[in-house]
Structures are given as structure tokens and as C-alpha cells.
């Protein structure tokens, strides 16, 4: 098996991209990645596109076929990967395996979503279609609702409060202020979202105990990377960012069937696989991009990834250890909470951010001495999870 | 549309309870199950009062939770009131509770035991 590196990365702005179609978004992100790599597009022999909602939201299917046509990559092989909110991580994993195996050399992985074509009401329903159709969806459950039920138990079990959740939101909003691609560019404070009478209006409940500022926005956006054999990177005069390990694991579709609903087993298993393949331990991670679709998930994922013991993340929140200036920064990009969450793009955007950080190209939000990164892409409500370990090689 | 949410199953080999139905037991890989009844009462494991609801639902909010029936079956359902707590004893009602695209939808509606 060959070592695989990320040669180029690119993103669109995340937010409400009114003038762009899904194909515009995927194309723009891909062109940015191709230009960043400095690669002749004719060398790209495989394309994976991560997208969850093209068919439902945009009346557009087979988007990988459309992308290679639109950006001149014919006759490259092209596949669309749909794995819910973990589509991006899944597409990268498949791209890594394609290069590692020797079947393909230069792989474009693009993720994109155009969610704001429909109302929030419709977008909420679209995401809810990933729940069990007969045992969950029929009741009107939403992903925020699943997260609310999870938070209810997790907070009770490990002693978290709404103040801890709010601190996560405040941190990620501050990080996003330094990310020009982020959807939500808004500084928030405890007074505005928790500690004043106005907070009742500013921070209305979404799914108790989670409120507006515990939740990611509904976003449009795209992200893309170019993968290649590590020994070809020197031809392009780029730093070597190796995909040192990946892991993927699944869990029961219904939350009710889990022995302990607070145990995100798939997160733990995916991370353990990724660490093992990378030959590292959790303590070797310098920073992480976690799937904080809700603030409670940043907490629970950090703990299930082995970065902190169960209940231990509250110390990082209280000490600021999880900030960009701390010893283990979490979501320096602003995370899903503030960078945004165009579902098919998210896993790829995490890898883009990690690459910028590992190259030292993250501007004001640069994590110092970053060499090893974890990205965690959380599908469903933890029933399909992809973890990647990226490392800058000397 | 046939909804597969009206029966719970117990693996004939290892006894693991499965709800809703699946083809293969997650615990032992066996493919043979027996149907088991739901009990009238259950215990609330967790819940959320949900305000931002999906397309097709016109309520101001819904309270949805997961309950464990007294024989071990676990299921999601609607709850009649947000005035509940984890661990509360509940009465389980199999009820026609909504319509989706003209289809009657039956499912679990839980209410606190009086």
C-alpha cells in the first residue's frame, strides 16, 4: 500500500449562496483545490463527490457525472458518495483507498450542498429522513431533537450545564471570526445568550435543552481536496500532508436500541482505528476538527475520541484549553457551529481546515506547532462515523 | 404503506430484543425471532421538547422521548406533556396520531402514569 497525501485544497464561502447552483458550488471548490495543487487537471483520474441532498433539495442526481463534465475532467472515473452528514469523510476514505491501492494516482474529492434552496422547515425534514422511517421519523423527530434527547442524558450523567454548552458556542463563534469562509461571523457573549432577560429571545429553544446558539446553521457551501501518492508531492513543491490514518464505524440506526444512549461507540471505534493506522495515540493529536452540529456533540466527541476522559471536557472548557491558544484546540475553524454545515461538504471542509493548519496557512486562527490533526465526521446520530488523522511529514 | 413498527421481536437463539424488526439479530447473527407483546407501562429514558419541527407538522412544539417497556423493549414515541422527567413511569398507548400524505400513521404515545 502506498502512503497518500493531500496535494491541494479549496473551499467556497459557506453561507447562503443565492446566486450559485449545487454544481456551481462543487465546481468552484474543485477549481480552487486544483489551482492550489498546481496540477494539470488531465492528471486527475478519479473523482468522488460527497453530497446528501442533490436529489431531494435540488432535483439534481448523479452529481459526480455533472461535475466532471462541468470542469473538464472527462474521462476521469466519477462516483457520488451519499452517506448522510458523513458523506465527506466517506468520500475521502474511498479516495485514500483508491490511491493507496495503486489503482488511481490523482483523486479529486469534492463535497457540496445547496440547502438554502428550500425553507428551513423543508431542510429540517430533509435531514430527518436519515432517521428510522417507521420507528423515529413518523413521530416528527428532528436531528436537533435527537441531539436534545442525547444532551438531556449526557448532561445529567456527566454534570454538564447549559453554561458549558454556551462556552463551546462562544469559543467557536470567536474562532469563526478569524475564518473568512465561515457562515456565521458573529461575536457572542454569555450575557446575550444565557445571562440576561434578553437571552430568552436571543437564544430561543430549538430542542430542549438545546437552544439556537447550541445549533449549527443550515448552509450552502463546498470544499474539495486533491489526493495523490505521497512520493509524487515533491513534483509540485508542496508540503507533505499525509492521510496517516482513517477509521469508520457504525452503530444502531435507532437511538433507542443502544444499550447506553450516551455511549457514542462508533466515534470511539472510528478514532481507535484511525489512531492505530497512523501509529499514534490520542495524546499525540495537536488539534481536532470535530462534528459539532450541536454544542453537546463537541463535548461528547472529544471525550469519545479519547482526547479527554468522560466528563473531562468541562475542565478544558473552564480553563480555555480547547481554545486556539490552548494546548489542544478544538474546532479552530469555528466548527459546524459557526463555519456552517452544508452536510455533504462538511467532512471535506474539516480536511481542508486541517491541511491549512498543518501547512501553517491558517492566518489569524493558526494553531501553533500543529503537526498532527484529527477530523471527525459524524453521520446520522452517531450511526456512521469517519475519523481521519492527518500529519505533516518532514 | 406498510409501517413495520407494530411488533417487537425476541431472538430465538440469544434472547436479544429487536424493535423495530430487522432480518438478522445484531447480537448473535440468528435469523429466527418470536413476536413479543408490549407491556402497558414503561419508563421514560430521555426526551426533548422540540420547537423547530419538520415540514408536515403544524404543532407549536412536540415532546418526543424514548421509553423502556417493562419487558425490555425500547421505543421512541410522542409524549402528551413536556412536564416529565427522566425515569418517570409512563402509560404506553398505541394510537393513530397523525397522517402522512393521506396515510393514517399509528405509533406510540406515552403519558405520565397517574
Contact between B19 and A140 using a beta-carbon 8 Å cutoff: no
pTM above the 0.80 mark?
A: yes
Residues of A in contact with B4 (CB under 8 A): 134
* Residue A256 pLDDT class (50, 70, 90 cuts): very high
Task: Give residue-wise pLDDT tens across range B74-87.
Answer: 999 999 999 999 99
B3-22: average pLDDT: 94
Tell me, what's the pLDDT at A292?
A: 98
Q: Which residues contact A103 (CB under 8 A, 6 or more apart)?
A: none
Asked if B44 contacts B84 with a C-beta cutoff of 8 angstroms, the reply is yes
**Assembly ipTM:** 0.97
What residues in B contact A254, CB-CB < 8 Å? 20, 76
A377 CB contacts (<8 Å, ≥6 apart)? A85, A86, A88, A89, A90, A291, A346, A347, A350, A385, A386, A387, A388
**A20 CB-near residues (< 8 Å, 6+ apart):** A12, A28, A114, A220
CB A110 within 8 A of CB A11: no
Edge-to-edge strand order for the sheet containing B33-36? B17-18, B8-11, B33-36
Is the separation of the CB atoms in A115 and A20 below 8 Å? Answer: no
Determine the average pLDDT of the residues in B39-68: 96
Q: Cβ–Cβ of A206/B59 closer than 8 Å? A: no
Rounded to a whole number of angstroms, the distance from the CA of A80 to the nearest CA of chain B is 27
Alpha helix ranges (H) inside chain A: 22-37, 54-57, 63-70, 87-101, 120-128, 143-158, 162-176, 190-193, 199-202, 265-278, 295-304, 313-319, 335-339, 343-359
Share of chain A above pLDDT 70, in %: 100
pLDDT reading at A296 higher than 80: yes
Contacts of residue B76, Cβ cutoff 8 Å, sequence gap at least 6 = A135, A136, A139, A141, A254, A255, A256, B64, B65, B66, B108
Q: Is the pLDDT of residue A385 over 80?
A: yes
Determine whether the interchain pair B50/A148 forms a contact, defined as Cβ–Cβ distance below 8 Å: yes
Determine the pLDDT at residue B2.
Answer: 76
CB-CB neighbours of B6 under 10 Å: 15
Once rounded to an integer, what is the mean pLDDT over residues A6-12?
98
Q: Which residues of A touch B105 (CB under 8 A)?
A: 138
Confidence of residue B3 (pLDDT cuts 50, 70, 90): confident
Cβ B107–A128 below 8 Å, yes or no?
no
Mean pLDDT rounded to a whole number for chain A: 97
- Give A73-106 pLDDT, tens digit per residue: 999 999 999 999 999 999 999 999 999 999 999 9
Confidence band of B73 (pLDDT split at 50, 70, 90): very high
Task: Compute the distance between CA of residue B53 and CA of residue A296 in angstroms, rounded to an integer.
Answer: 20
pLDDT value of residue A83: 98
Note whether B76 contacts A139, CB cutoff 8 Å.
yes
Which of B19, B54, B78, B110 is the best residue to mutate to test the A interface, defined by the most A CB atoms within 10 Å of its own CB? B54
Contact B54 A125 (CB under 8 A): yes
CA distance A378 to chain B (A): 21
Instruction: Please list every residue in chain B whose beta carbon sits closer than 8 Å to the beta carbon of residue A210.
Output: 48
Amino acid at each position: 500500500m502506498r502512503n497518500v497525501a493531500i496535494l491541494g485544497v479549496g473551499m467556497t464561502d459557506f453561507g447562503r449562496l443565492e446566486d450559485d447552483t449545487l454544481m456551481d458550488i462543487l465546481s468552484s471548490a474543485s477549481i480552487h483545490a486544483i489551482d492550489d495543487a498546481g496540477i494539470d487537471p488531465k492528471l486527475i483520474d478519479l473523482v468522488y463527490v460527497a453530497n446528501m441532498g442533490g436529489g431531494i433539495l435540488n432535483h439534481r442526481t448523479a452529481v459526480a457525472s455533472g461535475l466532471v463534465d462541468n470542469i473538464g475532467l472527462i474521462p476521469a472515473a466519477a462516483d457520488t458518495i451519499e452517506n448522510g452528514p458523513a458523506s465527506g469523510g466517506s468520500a475521502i476514505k474511498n479516495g485514500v483507498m483508491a490511491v493507496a491501492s495503486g489503482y488511481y494516482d490523482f483523486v479529486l474529492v469534492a463535497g457540496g450542498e445547496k440547502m438554502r434552496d428550500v425553507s428551513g422547515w423543508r431542510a429540517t425534514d430533509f435531514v430527518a429522513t436519515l432517521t428510522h422511517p417507521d420507528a423515529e421519523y413518523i413521530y416528527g423527530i428532528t436531528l436537533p431533537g435527537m441531539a436534545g434527547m442525547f444532551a438531556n442524558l449526557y448532561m445529567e450523567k456527566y454534570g454538564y450545564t447549559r453554561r458549558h454548552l454556551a462556552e463551546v458556542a462562544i469559543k467557536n463563534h470567536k474562532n469563526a471570526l478569524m475564518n473568512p469562509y465561515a457562515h456565521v461571523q458573529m461575536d457572542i457573549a454569555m450575557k446575550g445568550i444565557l445571562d440576561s432577560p434578553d437571552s430568552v429571545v436571543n437564544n430561543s429553544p430549538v430542542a430542549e435543552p438545546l437552544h439556537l446558539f447550541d445549533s449549527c446553521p443550515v448552509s450552502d457551501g463546498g470544499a474539495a481536496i486533491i489526493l495523490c501518492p505521497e512520493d509524487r508531492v515533491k513534483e509540485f513543491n508542496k508540503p507533505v500532508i499525509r492521510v496517516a490514518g482513517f477509521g469508520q464505524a457504525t452503530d444502531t440506526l435507532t437511538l433507542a436500541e443502544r444499550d447506553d444512549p450516551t455511549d457514542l461507540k462508533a466515534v470511539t471505534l472510528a478514532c481507535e482505528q484511525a489512531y492505530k493506522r497512523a501509529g499514534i495515540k490520542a495524546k499525540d493529536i495537536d488539534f481536532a476538527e470535530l462534528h459539532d452540529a450541536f454544542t453537546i456533540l463537541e463535548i461528547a466527541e472529544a471525550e469519545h475520541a479519547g482526547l479527554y476522559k468522560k466528563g473531562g471536557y468541562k475542565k478544558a472548557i473552564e480553563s480555555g484549553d480547547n481554545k486556539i491558544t490552548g494546548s489542544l484546540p478544538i474546532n479552530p475553524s469555528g466548527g459546524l457551529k459557526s463555519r456552517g454545515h452544508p452536510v455533504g461538504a462538511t467532512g471535506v471542509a474539516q480536511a481542508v481546515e486541517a491541511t491549512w493548519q498543518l501547512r501553517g496557512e491558517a492566518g489569524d486562527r493558526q494553531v501553533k506547532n500543529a503537526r498532527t490533526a484529527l477530523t471527525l465526521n459524524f453521520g446520522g446520530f452517531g450511526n456512521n462515523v469517519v475519523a481521519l488523522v492527518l500529519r505533516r511529514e518532514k | 404503506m406498510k409501517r413495520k413498527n407494530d411488533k417487537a421481536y425476541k431472538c430465538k437463539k440469544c434472547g436479544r430484543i429487536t424493535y423495530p424488526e430487522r432480518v438478522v439479530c445484531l447480537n448473535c447473527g440468528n435469523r429466527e425471532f418470536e413476536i413479543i407483546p408490549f407491556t402497558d407501562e414503561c419508563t421514560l429514558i430521555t426526551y426533548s421538547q422540540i420547537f423547530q419541527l419538520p415540514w408536515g407538522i403544524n404543532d407549536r412544539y412536540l415532546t418526543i422521548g424514548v421509553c423502556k417497556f417493562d419487558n425490555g423493549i425500547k421505543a421512541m414515541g410522542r409524549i402528551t406533556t413536556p412536564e416529565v422527567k427522566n425515569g418517570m413511569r409512563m402509560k404506553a398507548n398505541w394510537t393513530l396520531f397523525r397522517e402522512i400524505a393521506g396515510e393514517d400513521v399509528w405509533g406510540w404515545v406515552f403519558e405520565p402514569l397517574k
